[in-house]
Structure 1
Amino acid sequence: MLHTIRKPHAPVLAILLGLSSAVTGAAELDPKAISIKLPEQINWVANPSGSETAVLVGDPAKPGLYVVLNKWKAHHNSKPHSHPNDRFITVISGTWWVGTGSDYNPDDLKPVPAGSFVTHYGNEIHYDGAKDEDTILQIVGIGPATSVPAPAK
């Protein structure tokens, strides 16, 4: 016996059939064209400074382009230092706190909210970190990304 679908249910059935064919018929992405790392696939490494780093592209210890994520844990800061090359930083989440000069004074840190873009100029002294919340930065630069402590006064 052949059943007919009543008209009120026909649009729902058509949508469901369309969704199921869209899910099963999706083409695989070509790994030569695109690479995706989901958050759980990003490898974070703890640093003695109270931050964590995840290298996304390149190797910051070697010459060439690198892209890293840096997670400052709450209540951790760097001491005054510089880097030999410019670094380009986007605040992904949280509030990043920054200061300049060789006199370390956490009370002088200025807030940089999520969504902001900052340039750290090569060989210029700065310090930074997080206050009451974890902060994630994306840092792009040319390696090697050494950190040089500011001269003691």
Structure 2
Amino acid sequence: MGELNPAQTVIRLPDRIAWQAPPDAPPRSVETATLSGGEDADGIYLVLMKWYPGFMSAPHFYRTDRLCVVLSGVWWCNSGPDFDPDRAVAAYPSSYVRRVAGTPHYDGARPDAPEPAVIAICGLGPVEQTWVDPSQPRLRRI
């Protein structure tokens, strides 16, 4: 009586969260950890994204809205199809950012950041990510 039932309450401690970099990403640029569902599957998903200092995404958009909360670090965000990291806006821990479906944006962490930016992202899949200019690199060192 009174003991946690792991079939009813699932807890995954930080050291048990599996972070993965995209296959074409430079080392220590960006990593994700899927906590529930999947961005490529139907239904709700929850992922963590970690942006290492000095990297940003190229402008892109999604088919569905993405609801984001900054957990740690500073996440630099901007909207629009033109990549201009100097005009990005800082989102500090506990900030909420909604990425509206079909609207181009980009984001990441400044080179002088003392730590990576970690963001929790929730939405409905599949997200169907689209790059504004697929001929350009998806990740940018800034």
> What TM-score, normalized to structure 2?
0.84
Alignment of 1:2-151 (within 5 A): 27-47=2-22, 48=25, 50-131=29-110, 132=113, 133-151=115-133
Deviation at 1:63, TM superposition (A): 1.2
Deviation at 1:92, TM superposition (A): 0.2
1:63-85: CA deviation from partner (whole Å, max 9, x where unpaired): 11100000001111001000000
Deviation at 1:27, TM superposition (A): 4.7
Task: Count how many residue pairs are aligned between Structure 1 and Structure 2.
Answer: 127
Higher relative contact order (CA 8 A, sep 6+): 2
Displaced runs of 4 or more, over 2 A: none
Q: Percent identity?
A: 36
Distance 1:87 1:109 in 2: 18
Deviation at 1:138, TM superposition (A): 0.1
Structure 1 vs Structure 2 CA RMSD:
1.5
Distance 1:31 1:112 in 2: 34
Instruction: Give structure 1 stretches of 5+ with no counterpart.
Output: 1-25
Deviation at 1:106, TM superposition (A): 1.1
Distance 1:51 1:146 in 2: 19
> What TM-score, normalized to structure 1?
0.78
Deviation at 1:151, TM superposition (A): 4.4
Which residue type is aligned with residue 62 of structure 2? H
Q: Secondary structure at the match of 2:49?
A: strand
